Amino acid sequence: MSAIRLLVLGAVRQHGRAHGYQVRGDLEYWGAHEWSNAKPGSIYHALKQMAKQGLLHAHEIAPSTAGGPPRTEYEITDLGTEEFLRLLREALTSYDQKMDVKSAAIGFIVDLPRDEAVTLLKERTRRIGEWRSSVTEHYVPEDGPEQLGHIGEIMNLWIHTADAEVEWTLGLIARIESGAYTFAGEGEPFVGVLAEGDENPYATGEKHPEDAR
């Protein structure tokens, strides 16, 4: 799964309606340009592609008083919301050791009901266990990484990462079950998006042609 679709759909959904520069600003604000492929070109490409696929509705608004082409604003469709939730659920339960999809999923976890979030995270720990077992078919952690030469250090890293993620996930489950955070249907959730005109302290400064709109 590519994190960019989940990130872009989630950002547009949180705004209700947003143009590309706002979406880019949000993703930079979340640090997604550091831990995912959410670079300016990929963000604008994703917006256009998902509009073509019916996941987003593109609105052209009046050009600025300074002139120039109209700016396009995007609004998530019902189909887009279904796709966003599908991607979110898949990202919460699937396991690999890449940071981007996992981080995006945690960023939007409160868009789900609390009980469902817990169920999905428990399924994640089960799948991590399955993945770990597939590694230990070839590598015995108790025998140390030297059993496979220096390549054993890679599998040692995999095992330690999986174990740490299980521990972290169980902690998150416990915090959610104890009432932490505001989930769907419980009231006004935390929304970490930039309002129009807010300065983004984490902006990369990298320009894209559509930023001038």
Domain ranges of the chain: 1-83+189-213
What pLDDT, on a 0 to 100 scale, did the predictor assign at position 202? 53
Q: How many CB atoms lie within 10 A of CB 165?
A: 18
The two three-digit tokens of residue 109, written as one number: 């976890």
58: which strand partners?
74
- At residue 213, does pLDDT exceed 50? no
The answer to whether 46 and 28 are in contact (CB under 8 A) is no
Q: Distance (Å, rounded) from C-alpha 200 to C-alpha 28?
A: 8
Lowest mean pLDDT among 3-12, 15-24, 163-172: 15-24
Q: Distance (Å, rounded) from C-alpha 180 to C-alpha 175?
A: 6
Tokens 């989940």 label which residue?
6
Q: Distance (Å, rounded) from C-alpha 40 to C-alpha 33?
A: 9
Structure pTM? 0.82
Q: Of the spans 67-76, 127-136, 199-208, which averages the highest pLDDT? A: 127-136
The two three-digit tokens of residue 27, written as one number: 């993703």
76: which strand partners?
56
The answer to whether 138 and 155 are in contact (CB under 8 A) is yes
Query: How far is residue 99 from each of residues 84, 102, 127, measured CA to CA in Å?
Result: 18, 6, 16
Tokens 């600025």 label which residue?
64
- For 1-83+189-213, the fitting CATH number among 1.10.150.20, 1.25.40.10, 3.30.1490.100, 1.10.10.10 is 1.10.10.10
